[in-house]
A and B are shown apart, each in its own frame.
Chain A
Amino acid sequence: MPDNIYLPQLARVASIKEEVAGERSIKTFRVEPVDGKLFDHECGQCAMLSIFGRGESMISIASSPLIREYKQFSIMRVGRVSSAFHELEVGDVVGIRGPYGNSFPVDDWRGKNLYFIGGGCGLAPIWPVITTAVAQRASFKNITVFYGGRTSRDIMYRAELEKLRESVDVHLSIDKAEEGWEGYCGFVPAAVMDKDPVPDNAIAITCGPPIMIKFVIQNLNKLGFKDEQIYTTIENKMKCGLGKCGRCNVGKDYVCVMGPVYSWAVLKNLPEEY
């Protein structure tokens, strides 16, 4: 990290892809350093992205740590700073500082079956784990991805997910039936139950809207997954990213330092203030 923890490094927008259009649009940005190198990161960590004059936003790094040339972020347009991101063009320069937070203990999961369960924009924070596991495919047993959007137009990383099918079981779902949709119709927690994942030698990693995470975890418990086998990454409003400004304080933790990655065994003992 640089000497001044609050001073961002400059990064240039190398590419912008519109993942999801419409009201809750999602765009994927890849940023490269303007000078020197960007920091290294681990799966699950986040970075503070700045639009000077607008502010900063804490976004999960969606690219695998194995990729050095750029860092990828998928940002949903929800408010002030994210709207400013959606107005960016390729070549624009933003600020970036990080990496912040803890990471998924991917090394501990070698030799295990991995179930990834994502909803909406929640696929992005767990995407680095998915892509890293796939890049080191032989180290892991079965890999299954459950991912759902409200409608078929809300599904992000569509092309990448299709490509994953080569090495990974992919189950896509949408909330309500649509013409032409052959996959599961219903909420993600139900989509998971539908395929009856087995807890033996398995880890489940889930991310999505808080309500989805809640029911996914309930269902996983029903299926026999122990709390230590379930991992999630939570979201809180954040400002400093360094455990000082107090905004993301949950129980004794600052989520930007001790989180955002938590096993359910630990998270269930924290107050539900996220």
Chain B
Amino acid sequence: MINIQDIRDTARDMLAKGEVRAVIGYRRGSRGMLAEPAFITDPAQADDLVWDPTCFHNLSLYLVEDRKFLTHVRKTANAPIAIVTKGCDARSIVVLLQEHYFKREDVYIIGVSCEGTGVVDERKLAPHLNGFQASNAAFDGDDFVFITAEGEKRLPAREVMADRCLECRIPFPKEHNAVFGEDKTGRQLAEPFAALTRFETQGTAERWDFWSHHFDRCIRCFACRSVCPMCYCEECVVDSITFPVTTETTAEDKANRIRWIERSAVRSENITYLMTRAMHLAGRCTDCGECERACPVNVPIRLLNNKMEREAREQFGFEPGASIGGPSLVASFLDNDPGDFIR
């Protein structure tokens, strides 16, 4: 059981001593029970930090934003930035480190363990609340406890936790500077890739119908890309418009930029967008589930990314973010890499 005050004290001390320049964490939002990202630079605000089942955001995204900002203003940081990090988020940070996005000493990882219960999936929770909005959510052993106008609602975490949490094998931030909470690595809830396996019991025709339906529905809001820490490319191949120009970008560069897809949110363009994104995340996606959570129209994006991650695991024995120090999958070639497809 984590005592939130320990996390707050850590944050306050480090800020007061100047050991870190900011703490990225979670605080209570203004929309009922939900937590929201917090960016704390003043030690006095450390008490705003919370830790509860609605802390599902992958805050490592903001490490990427921070790095981009520093580059844009051409400054270097005088101290590391601290970040409250779940097991899944820590894997994202490891991938970013493997890709040399920033250095290990630039970030101070305040690890928090979900202690095996994962975080809540709002869509799974909704039917349990009888139309009432929860004003509070808390961890309690293997349960989540919510408060609504009807009173306290206790639910076994496994009934309302996100699918990605059910399938997670390492619900603990292995990479950390400080860590709070017990390590429940190895706890068995669902098999890895369970949702994908279930999906694949359907034949090709049904699967194509399924995906066509969803590709028709996507409104191309780019939330899946915007919320993903690994989608850090300034120039995105599958965004025909956004192109970071500076005063030095030549007319040639702009004129020669290929429009791979159109802005129209129609099936053909959406297929290209979603599939290309999945391919570009192959071997890099840590299944934080944020893309699917953020999607306003409930496209089951995780399935696409999981497919590539299962390939990475089966073909190359590779798990993104599992261990710091090794090379990234797509940036390395090992002698014993499978080659039976080369004729």
Chain A contact residues, CB within 8 Å of chain B? 23, 77-80, 82-84
Contacts and interface: CB of A to CB of B under 8 A. Distances in A.
Contact of B257 (A77, A80, A84): A80
Contacts, number: 18
A77 B250 CA distance: 9
Contacts of A83: 251-252, 254-255
Contacts of B252: 83
Contacts of B251: 23, 77-79, 82-83
Nearest to A23: B250
18 contacts: A23-B250, A23-B251, A77-B251, A78-B251, A78-B254, A79-B245, A79-B251, A79-B254, A79-B255, A80-B254, A80-B255, A80-B257, A82-B251, A83-B251, A83-B252, A83-B254, A83-B255, A84-B255
Given A77-B251, A79-B251, A80-B254, 5 more contacts: A78-B251, A79-B245, A79-B254, A83-B252, A83-B255
A180 to B, nearest CB: 29
A77 B257 CA distance: 15
A79 B245 CA distance: 10
How large, as a class, is the contact surface on chain B?
under 10
Contacts of A77: 251
- 8 nearest interchain CB pairs? A83-B255, A79-B254, A77-B251, A83-B251, A80-B254, A80-B255, A78-B251, A79-B251
**Max count, chain A CB within 10 A of own CB: residue among B245, B254, B257:** B254
A50 B251 CA distance: 18
A77 B255 CA distance: 10
A107 B252 CA distance: 42
Interface in B223-258: 245, 250-252, 254-255, 257
A82 B245 CA distance: 15
A23 B251 CA distance: 8
A63 B235 CA distance: 38
A125 B342 CA distance: 61
A52 B257 CA distance: 17
A78 B229 CA distance: 32
